[in-house]
Amino acid sequence: TASGGCQKIRGTQLHELLESKHNVLFDCDGVIWNGETAVAGAPEVVRALKQHGKRVFFVTNNCTRPRQSYVQKFARLGFADIGEQEIFSSAYCSAAYLRDVVTFSGKVFAIGCPGVHEELRDAGIAVVEEEDDGPDVNISNCALDPDVRAVLVGYDEQFSFMKLAKACCYLRDSECLFLATDPDPWHPLRGGRITPGSGSLTAALETASSRKATVIGKPSRFMFECIASQFDLEPESSLMVGDRLETDIVFGINCGLSTMLTLTGVSTFEQAQVYKDSGEPEKKDFVPDYVVESIADFLEALEA
Ligand code: PLP
Ligand code: CA
């Protein structure tokens, strides 16, 4: 009812909203957990939604883990019976994009964590092995693999000048695809610190190559298309719940979903209000339909 209304919602109204939806898409960090700690009540909420016949999907821009490792994380944090098929990560979806959308052949030069490499291999996509360039190797004499047809960049704590330089060389070939797992600028860590996100590494490569990456993760529509290709899923009967206006809420709006901001993560109610009150048409894609303090509020609403 409250399209782009930024409406704080709980109790009966939340009950009615949930009644009207068949699918709930949850962002992960800041929504159902923060780092290694589950959001209080989140395991019970996921279980209750399923008991009420809802389908639940997890849509994360975090490319660092393969799906199987998410299954283990869910179990460790107290979520019962979460299966790989419910988990859509930017690493998994990047591999799916290469396999199913561009029917990729050749090798991928991947900048990213093991999650990215494993998902690519699981999808049957060849990846350039990381080699230890010896002491006398530099960008003017390093080996380049002639079979590389795509560069994929994601969060990588081993990011280096050499990786950036090699990626740049591959991207000189305009036929070489340029993909990014996600555009996230940074992520909160414990103690008020932040870590740079994939988007910051992508920006370096975009500048150096004078090209623009195709973004797979939120807010791009592709992750929803990936879910919809595997499950029968109508946008109108789906709700996207996220903690970051610039990724999760824009994603939901791009895909025609109802959108909900939860206040257990990055974005605040005030930021949503600022977008809403700006009156600028291009800012309305950042305004959620609904706002909850925490998804823990779903429990009471489901019981209502
Ligand atoms: N990428 C990395 C490397 C992260 O550490 C995080 C959050 O911790 C994310 C992405 C964002 O994940 P999500 O989309 O689940 O909020
Ligand atoms: Ca998040």
Q: How confident is the model at residue 282 (pLDDT cuts 50, 70, 90)?
A: confident
Mean pLDDT of 139-161: 95
8 Å CB contact between 67 and 87? yes
29 lines ligand 1 (CB under 6 A): yes
Q: How many CB atoms lie within 10 A of CB 291?
A: 23
Q: Please give the Cα distance from 119 to 19 (Å, whole number).
A: 35
Nearest of 115, 43, 119 to residue 81 by alpha carbon: 43
The rounded Å distance from CA 268 to ligand 2 centre is 13
Whole-model pTM: value is 0.96
The rounded Å distance from CA 111 to ligand 2 centre is 22
Please write down the long-range contacts of 166-175, taking CB distance under 8 Å and 24 or more positions apart: 166/109, 166/139, 166/142, 167/109, 167/111, 167/205, 167/208, 167/209, 168/205, 168/208, 168/209, 169/139, 169/144, 170/109, 170/144, 171/205, 171/209, 171/211, 172/209, 175/149
This model of the complex carries an ipTM of 0.98
The residue nearest atom 16 of ligand 1, judged by CA position, is 29
Ligand nearest the Cα atom of residue 112: 1
User: What's the pLDDT at 19?
Assistant: 97
For the segment 35-48, what is each residue's pLDDT rounded down to a tens digit?
A: 999 999 999 999 99
For the segment 162-191, what is each residue's pLDDT rounded down to a tens digit?
A: 999 999 999 999 999 999 999 999 999 988
Pocket test for ligand 1, best of 27, 28, 247 (most atoms within 8 A of CB): 28
Q: How confident is the model at residue 2 (pLDDT cuts 50, 70, 90)?
A: low
Question: Per-residue pLDDT for 13 more than 80?
Answer: yes
Residue 27 catalytic?
yes
Q: CA–CA distance from 74 to each of 37, 86, 109, 169 (Å)?
A: 10, 11, 30, 39
Q: Please give the Cα distance from 240 to 64 (Å, whole number).
A: 22
Question: Per-residue pLDDT for 59 more than 50?
Answer: yes
For the segment 74-115, what is each residue's pLDDT rounded down to a tens digit?
A: 999 999 999 999 999 999 999 999 999 999 999 999 999 999
Ligand 1 atom with minimal separation from the 30 CA:
16
Q: Ligand 2 being an ion, which residues bring their Cβ within 5 A of it?
A: 27, 29-30, 243
Residue 242 tokens read as 């996220």
For the segment 17-38, what is each residue's pLDDT rounded down to a tens digit?
A: 999 999 999 999 999 999 999 9
User: What's the pLDDT at 131?
Assistant: 76
- Percent of the chain whose pLDDT exceeds 70: 99
Residue 145 catalytic?
no
From the candidates 27, 182, 248, 289, give the one annotated as an active-site residue: 27
- Percent of the chain whose pLDDT exceeds 90: 92
The rounded Å distance from CA 34 to ligand 2 centre is 9
The rounded Å distance from CA 90 to ligand 2 centre is 12
Residues 6+ apart with CB under 8 A from 88: 57, 58, 59, 60, 223, 226, 227
Nearest of 90, 132, 130 to residue 216 by alpha carbon: 90
Question: Per-residue pLDDT for 14 more than 70?
Answer: yes
